[in-house]
Amino acid sequence: MIGAPEFTAALLEHGYEFFTGVPCSYLGGPISVLSEQGRYVPAANEGAALAIAAGARMAGTRSATLLQNSGLGNLVNPLASLVLPYEIPVLVVVSLRGWPVGTDEPQHEVMGRVSQSIMDGCGVDSALLEPTVDSLEEALAAAGKADLRGRSFCLLVPKGTVASVGSAPAAPSGVLDRAKAVRIVAAHVGDAAVYSTTGYTSRELFAAADRAGNFYMQGSMGHALALGLGTALRRPDRRVVVLDGDGAVLMHMGTLSTVGHLAPPNLLHVVLDNGSYASTGNQATTSTTVDWPELARANGYRQAWGCADGAELRAALSEAGKVPGPSLVAVRVRADETAAPPRASARLTLPGVRARFEREVADPEGGPRP
In this prediction, residue 79 carries a pLDDT of 97
Q: Looking at the domain assignment, is residue 168 inside a domain?
A: no
The model's pTM:
0.91
Domain match, 254 and 139 both:
no
The total of structural domains in the chain comes to 2
Average pLDDT across the chain, whole number: 91
Domain boundary among 123, 157, 191: 157
Domain match, 132 and 260 both:
no
Q: Looking at the domain assignment, is residue 169 inside a domain?
A: no
**CA proximity to 353, closest of 212, 222, 174:** 212
Cα Rg, the chain, nearest whole Å: 21
Q: In Å, how far from its chain's centre is CA 181?
A: 20
Domain match, 142 and 283 both:
no
Pick 353 or 167 by higher pLDDT: 353
In this prediction, residue 182 carries a pLDDT of 95
Mean pLDDT in residue range 142-152: 97
User: How many Å apart are CA 3 and CA 23, to the nearest integer?
Assistant: 17
Instruction: Among 136-150, 182-196, 212-226, 338-352, name the one with the lowest average pLDDT.
Output: 338-352
Mean pLDDT in residue range 185-198: 95
Find out whether 327 and 304 touch, Cβ atoms under 8 Å. Answer: yes
CB-based contacts of 22, cutoff 8 Å, min separation 6: 42, 43, 44, 45, 46, 49, 66, 67, 68, 71, 251, 277
Q: Looking at the domain assignment, is residue 313 inside a domain?
A: yes
In this prediction, residue 249 carries a pLDDT of 96
Domain match, 120 and 188 both:
no
Domain interval for residue 286? 178-361
Which percentage of the chain shows pLDDT scores above 70? Answer: 92
Which percentage of the chain shows pLDDT scores above 90? Answer: 75
Domain boundary among 104, 122, 157: 157
Domain match, 19 and 124 both:
yes
Find out whether 16 and 139 touch, Cβ atoms under 8 Å. Answer: no
Q: Looking at the domain assignment, is residue 128 inside a domain?
A: yes
Find out whether 196 and 220 touch, Cβ atoms under 8 Å. Answer: no
Q: Looking at the domain assignment, is residue 166 inside a domain?
A: no
pLDDT (tens digit per residue) in 35-85: 999 999 999 999 999 999 999 999 999 999 999 998 899 999 999 999 999
In this prediction, residue 150 carries a pLDDT of 96
Domain match, 149 and 200 both:
no
Q: Looking at the domain assignment, is residue 213 inside a domain?
A: yes
Find out whether 24 and 277 touch, Cβ atoms under 8 Å. Answer: no
Three-state SS letters, the chain: CECHHHHHHHHHHCCCCEEEECCCHHHHHHHHHHHHCCCEEECCCHHHHHHHHHHHHHCCCCEEEEEEHHHHHHHHHHHHHHHCCCCCCCEEEEECCCCCCCCCCHHHHHHHHHHHHHHHHHCCEEEECCCCHHHHHHHHHHHHHHHHCCCCEEEEECCCCECCCCCCCCCCCCCECHHHHHHHHHHHCCCCEEEECCCHHHHHHHHHHCCCCEEECCCCCCCHHHHHHHHHHHCCCCCEEEEEEHHHHHHCCHHHHHHHHHCCCCEEEEEEECCEEHHHCCEECCHHHCCHHHHHHHCCCCEEEEECCHHHHHHHHHHHCCCCCCEEEEEEECCCCCCCCCCHHHCCCHHHHHHHHHHHHCCCCCCCCC
Domain match, 338 and 218 both:
yes
CATH number of domain containing 116:
3.40.50.970
User: How many Å apart are CA 105 and CA 280, to the nearest integer?
Assistant: 14
Residue 369 has pLDDT above 50, yes or no: no
Pick 12 or 116 by higher pLDDT: 12
**CA proximity to 256, closest of 312, 297, 309, 316:** 297
Q: Looking at the domain assignment, is residue 212 inside a domain?
A: yes
Q: Looking at the domain assignment, is residue 173 inside a domain?
A: no
Domain match, 232 and 347 both:
yes
In this prediction, residue 334 carries a pLDDT of 87
User: How many Å apart are CA 329 and CA 296, to the nearest integer?
Assistant: 9
Instruction: Among 134-138, 319-323, 345-349, name the one with the lowest average pLDDT.
Output: 345-349
Domain match, 94 and 18 both:
yes
Domain boundary among 124, 157, 190: 157
Domain match, 43 and 116 both:
yes
Find out whether 89 and 142 touch, Cβ atoms under 8 Å. Answer: no
User: How many Å apart are CA 225 and CA 327, to the nearest integer?
Assistant: 12
Domain match, 197 and 116 both:
no
Peptide bond into 236 cis (omega under 30): no
Domain match, 274 and 127 both:
no
